[in-house]
Amino acid sequence: MARNFPTVNINEKAELRVRAGHPWVYEDDISSVGADVIDGELVDVLSVKGKYLGTAFYNSASKIRLRVVSQNANDRFDESFWRRRVCYALDYRKTVMGADFACSRLVFGEADGLPGLTVDLFNDIIVSEVACLGTDRVKGIIYDALWDELCRRGITPTAIYERNELALRDKEGLARYKGFWRGDGDGSTYITENGIKYKVDYIEGQKTGYFLDQKYNRAAISKIAKDKTVLDCFTHTGAFALNAAMGGAKKVTAVDVSADALATAAGNAALNGLEDRVDFLRADVFELFTEWEAKGKREYDFIILDPPAFTKSSATVGKAIGGYREINRKAMKLLPRGGYLATCSCSHFMTDNLFCKMLKSAAEEACVSLKQIERRTQSPDHPIMWNVPETDYLKFYIFQII
């Protein structure tokens, strides 16, 4: 097929990455750029020797200069192409999520061949984030395809809401905003996850309004919570606390520094008739643990740590490791022998190897041993591509403290 796209040549280092299936090429790996290249448009990616490697979105404003969307020289990037990508993504979720399909991540960016695009489904509400200029140019086609294909699969959407407030949009030369793309609503909806009902604020809530990636990790908590006294730290919407309560915990305390988060969590507890079984405490977890450690307080036999990402870049990983080690060490010391600890990290930069090393160090400092019960990651609607390490971000472990 004749090639009608402008061309960009990349160096040998980037060529190896692209051939291995990684979709990103950074600014330092660009060898030459054709005169007719336009930001946000498709270009053919060529090796130093001029061999076709793939077709990608180009953006001179971004450190990620190229985002490869296909390595098939026969692809035509028309409406049918993007609709196929949407169909692949939806078919995959129908298969791996089953009955949970109606509340799942429909698109996970590069893992679905749709660069920089995140799409979550909350029953009839579609919530999206776009962090790629090229994808932003074709999002109308993608949104229409999502709407149509969901209808064909038995779900009738009422709205598509954009949460395009990401700081990454600045680096792509895109304005930040949020609003309805199609349809309308009052800003909230209700979902049921693991048999528990939640109110989702998709306009003001964090990210798209609710974190779907911990769905099955919460279920794992519920299985071992019976008759335990549970402390859920960084509770946010209260999801881990409510799963513990539904699992038969004797007592559950949910802690967060945010009054708004605690109000949301308390509202979710009331939705499920659990308001008398879960207590809510506003506190900084680090300060709270320091206070309890000084007092020798050991009131809980199951502690859950689900902190926000302590690092969002490779430059701050060292500092983040210190934070993770401190909070985990303190939790281990607050637990009795035979108690249980669930702990996680949601940062891609905090690799599983680093996380495990940190946990071993924390256990040594706390003078305890860790008996691993489960080693888990993000739910399968957030698929991990082995050739794209950036898609592998959530580490989740459950231990007994010995």
List active site positions. 346
For residue 84, which amino acid is it? Answer: R
Give Cα 1 to chain centroid, integer Å: 38
Q: Are 26 and 10 in contact (CB under 8 A)?
A: no
Helix (H) / strand (E) containing 145 = helix 133-152
| Whole-angstrom distance, CA of residue 200 vs CA of residue 209 | 6
Contacts of 273 (CB under 8 A, 6+ apart): none
Nearest alpha carbon to residue 219 among 75, 57, 99: 99
SS3 letters across 8-74: EEECHHHHHHHHCCCCEEEHHHEEEECCCCCCCCEEEEECCCCCEEEEEEECCCCCEEEEEEECCCC
Count of other CB atoms within 10 angstroms of residue 49: 8
Which of 63, 51, 60 shows the shortest CA–CA distance to 18? 51
Neighbour-count burial of 123, counting CB atoms closer than 10 A to its CB (0-12 exposed, 13-18 middle, 19+ buried): middle
Q: Torsion angle of alpha carbons 349, 352, 357, 361, nearest 10°? A: 90
What is the distance between the alpha carbons of residues 157 and 121, in angstroms, rounded to a whole number?
Answer: 9
Cα-flanking dihedrals φ and ψ of residue 122, to 5°? -115, 80
Q: Give the DSSP H/E element, type plus range, for residue 84.
A: helix 79-97
Decide: 402 and 340 in contact? Cβ < 8 Å: no
